Amino acid sequence: MAKANYQDEYQIRLEKLKKIRAARINPYPERFEKKHNVSEILGFKLGAKVQTAGRLLTIRGMGKIIFCHILDITGRIQLVLKEDEVGKENFKIFSQIFDPGDFIGVVGEVFKTQKGELSILIKTYQFLGKAFRPMPEKWHGLKDMELKYRQRYLDLIANNETYQRFLFRSELIKTLREFYWQNGFIEIETPILVNNPSGALAKPFKTHYEALDLDVYLRIAPETYLKEAIIGGFEKIFEIGRCFRNEGMDPSHLQDFTLAEHYVAYWNFEDNMKFTEELFVYLLKKLFGKTKLTIKDQSGKEQEIDFKPPWPKASFVELIKKESRLDLDKFETAEKLRAAIIAKKIKIDGIEKLGRGNLIDALYKTVCRDKITPPTFVLYQPADLSPLARKNDQNPEIVDRFQLVISGWEIVNAYSELVDPIDQKERFAKQAKAKATGDAEAHGKDDEFVLALEHGAPPISGWGMGLDRLVTLLTKQNNLRDVVLFPLLRPEK
Phi, psi of 23 (to 5 degrees): -85, 10
CB 53 within 8 A of CB 104: yes
Domain residue extents for the chain: 3-134, 157-483
What percentage of the chain carries pLDDT values higher than 90? 73
Q: Alpha-carbon distance 359 to 354, whole Å? A: 5
Phi, psi of 88 (to 5 degrees): -60, -45
Q: Alpha-carbon distance 175 to 179, whole Å? A: 6
* 1-5, 55-59, 85-89, 341-345: segment of lowest average pLDDT: 1-5
- Per the prediction, the chain carries an average pLDDT of 92
Q: Alpha-carbon distance 40 to 330, whole Å? A: 67
Residue 349 has pLDDT above 80, yes or no: yes
Q: Where are the alpha helices (DSSP H) in 112-268?
A: 145-150, 152-158, 160-182, 223-231
- 17-59 pLDDT, tens digit per residue, is 999 999 899 999 999 999 999 999 999 999 999 999 999 999 9
CB 269 within 8 A of CB 414: yes
3-134: CATH, from 2.40.50.140, 3.40.50.2300, 3.30.390.30, 1.10.10.10: 2.40.50.140
Residue 6 has pLDDT above 70, yes or no: no
Q: What's the pLDDT band for 5 if we cut at 50, 70, 90? A: low
Residue 12 has pLDDT above 80, yes or no: yes
- Position 137 scores a pLDDT of 63
Mean pLDDT of 284-310: 92
Q: What's the pLDDT band for 360 if we cut at 50, 70, 90? A: confident
pTM given for the model: 0.89
Residue 152 has pLDDT above 80, yes or no: yes
Residues sharing a CB contact under 8 Å with residue 462, sequence separation 6 or more, in sequence order? 223, 226, 227, 261, 262, 263, 264, 272, 414, 415, 417
Q: What's the pLDDT band for 2 if we cut at 50, 70, 90? A: very low
Give domain 157-483's CATH architecture: 2-Layer Sandwich (3.30)
Mean pLDDT of 145-159: 89
- 413-436 pLDDT, tens digit per residue, is 999 999 999 999 999 888 888 777
Give me the amino acid identity at 187: E
